[in-house]
């Protein structure tokens, strides 16, 4: 758009012609707005004699220095376009003949050879229209059924030859007859008894627009009711069997928890680590008896920096374990309190995996020929049992996506001794009562 001016542009077109005014400069309608004193017209209402810069360029004209627009035309999508007086524009030098030939070649239709006003990509719009009309005329002369083409168009209602039309009508009659037979036949399994007449069905269709409900014959209706009752009975028996299986499962888990709490050989172990990866190291370990007596509780110096995200969880930092013993220094005491006992762990696979990693590191530093084998032998000599899976099964929070019971969090405070006592609390809850009603 042009910049603001103090006065209106010269030669502003008027909406009514005067005696000495060029009719081409007269607007076709009233302006809807002004911009810097220049009237703005809607599309089709501006003076016909004014042109845009694109139109001037097409006529080999360009704006003269300081030439101002005489009007604007407003387009709904693209905004306002400035309109200029072609008489005040300057002529551009003529195009070279080679350039004219190239431009003309781009506007020439390769099919009809006509030069169009616009660039032709494949064929011009006139050729496309003629081709489309020819295709439609050919399609109208071609039978929809057999594809036979003739000089006269086929009827628009069906577009088929006589034989194909007869076949089509025969198919429609057969389909309608089949629909009528289906509607008046009993819906019972492998039953062909007619429960209504064709005339009755047709009278109903003429009088109603709703859905026709198929009628059952007496034997099929009795058999269907009997099968439904049997299916409901089987579903009830299956549900009762499932509830009974759940009762037995909960009772078995209760007995297991009670036996574990009463067993003097049971101990509970828990560890805290530097993370959850495969090379995470221990920073704390605790072992308690089923009665709650502490057999071992110690921080562990992992020999590696403790990540800050792990410290935010359990609160153990590098300064906390600076003077703590290493895992190798605690291995003798750990072996003593675990040897010959049932070791219960909440999420056994994780803690046993961390112990395997620490044992491998220890035996490698001690110069063992097979550190991994020595670690495996140490772990095999112990008895490990998981508490997380039995407790989750006892709670019974079924997960439809995984098709199993959801693992329950321990909520022990993320310290080794607190988690051990939380495991004992979980065992006590299991041994005391059922988690949820199983009936």
Give percent above pLDDT 90 in the chain.
73
For residue range 26-61, what is the model confidence (pLDDT) as tens digits?
777 888 999 988 999 998 888 888 999 999 998 899
For residue range 384-418, what is the model confidence (pLDDT) as tens digits?
999 999 999 999 998 988 889 999 999 888 899 99
Q: Could you tell me where the DSSP H helices lie in 193-285?
A: 198-207, 218-262
Residue 24, pLDDT score? 63
DSSP H or E stretch at residue 106: helix 97-106
- Alpha carbon distances (Å) from 263 to 290, 337, 380: 7, 15, 21
The answer to whether domain 248-432 has CATH 3.30.420.10 is: yes
For residue range 325-352, what is the model confidence (pLDDT) as tens digits?
999 999 999 999 999 999 999 999 999 9
* Phi/psi-derived region of residue 37, left when phi > 0, alpha when psi is between -120 and 50, beta in every other case: left
> Comparing C-alpha atoms, which of 394, 416, 423 is closest to residue 407?
394
Strands of the sheet with 282-289, listed across from one edge: 294-299, 282-289, 266-273, 342-345, 383-386
Please determine, for residue 435, whether its predicted confidence score (pLDDT) is greater than 60: no
| CA gap 26, 275 in Å, rounded | 83
Sign of the alpha-carbon dihedral angle for 102, 104, 107, 111 = negative
What residue segments make up the domains of the chain, in order of their start? 23-91, 97-132, 248-432
pTM (2 d.p.)? 0.57
Please determine, for residue 20, whether its predicted confidence score (pLDDT) is greater than 70: no
> Comparing C-alpha atoms, which of 252, 295, 250, 259 is closest to residue 427?
259
pLDDT class for 9, splitting at 50, 70, 90? very low
Please determine, for residue 438, whether its predicted confidence score (pLDDT) is greater than 90: no
Residue 232, pLDDT score? 96
| CA gap 308, 275 in Å, rounded | 10
Please determine, for residue 12, whether its predicted confidence score (pLDDT) is greater than 80: no
> Comparing C-alpha atoms, which of 187, 220, 183 is closest to residue 199?
183
For residues 409 and 373, the answer to whether their CB atoms sit within 8 Å is: no
- Alpha carbon distances (Å) from 401 to 249, 404, 406, 407: 22, 8, 10, 13
Mean pLDDT confidence for 4-21: 50
For residue range 171-203, what is the model confidence (pLDDT) as tens digits?
999 999 999 999 999 999 999 999 999 999 988
């Amino acid at each position: 758009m042009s910049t603001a001016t103090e006065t209106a542009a010269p030669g502003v077109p008027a909406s009514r012609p005067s005696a000495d005014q060029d009719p081409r400069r007269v607007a076709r309608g009233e302006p809807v707005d002004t911009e810097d004193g220049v009237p703005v017209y809607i599309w089709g209402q501006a003076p016909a004699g004014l042109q845009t810069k694109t139109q001037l360029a097409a006529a080999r004209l360009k704006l003269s220095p300081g030439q101002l627009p005489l009007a604007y035309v407003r387009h709904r999508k693209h905004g306002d376009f400035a309109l200029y007086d072609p008489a005040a524009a300057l002529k551009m030098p003529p195009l070279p003949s080679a350039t004219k030939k190239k431009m003309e070649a781009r506007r020439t239709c390769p099919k009809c050879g006509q030069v169009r006003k616009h660039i032709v990509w494949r064929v011009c719009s006139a050729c496309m229209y003629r081709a489309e009309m020819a295709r439609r005329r050919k399609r109208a002369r071609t039978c929809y059924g057999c594809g036979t083409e003739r000089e006269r168009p086929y009827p628009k209602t069906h577009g088929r030859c006589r034989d194909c039309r007869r076949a089509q009508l025969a198919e429609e009659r057969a389909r309608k007859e089949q629909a009528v037979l289906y509607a008046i036949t009993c819906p019972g399994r492998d039953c062909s008894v007619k429960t209504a007449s064709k005339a009755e069905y047709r009278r109903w269709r003429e009088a109603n627009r709703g859905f026709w409900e198929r009628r059952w014959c007496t034997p099929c209706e009795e058999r269907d009711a009997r099968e439904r009752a049997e299916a409901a009975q089987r579903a009830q028996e299956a549900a009762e069997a499932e509830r009974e299986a759940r009762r037995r499962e909960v009772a078995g888990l209760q007995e297991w928890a009670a036996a574990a709490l009463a067993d003097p050989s049971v101990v509970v172990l828990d560890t805290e680590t530097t993370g959850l990866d495969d090379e995470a190291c221990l920073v704390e370990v605790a072992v308690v008896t089923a009665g709650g007596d502490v057999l071992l509780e110690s921080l562990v110096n992992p020999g590696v920096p403790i990540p800050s995200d792990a410290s935010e969880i359990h609160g153990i930092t590098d300064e906390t374990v600076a003077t703590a013993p290493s895992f190798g220094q605690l291995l003798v005491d750990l072996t003593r309190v675990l040897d010959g006992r049932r070791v219960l762990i909440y999420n056994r696979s994780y803690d046993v995996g961390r112990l395997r990693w620490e044992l491998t590191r220890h035996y490698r530093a001690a110069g063992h020929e097979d550190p991994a084998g020595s670690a495996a032998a140490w772990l095999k000599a112990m008895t490990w049992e998981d508490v997380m899976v039995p407790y989750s099964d006892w709670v019974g929070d079924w997960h439809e996506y995984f098709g199993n019971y959801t693992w329950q969090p321990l909520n022990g405070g993320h310290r080794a001794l607190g988690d051990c006592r939380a495991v004992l609390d979980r065992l006590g809850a299991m041994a005391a009562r059922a988690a949820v009603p199983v009936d």
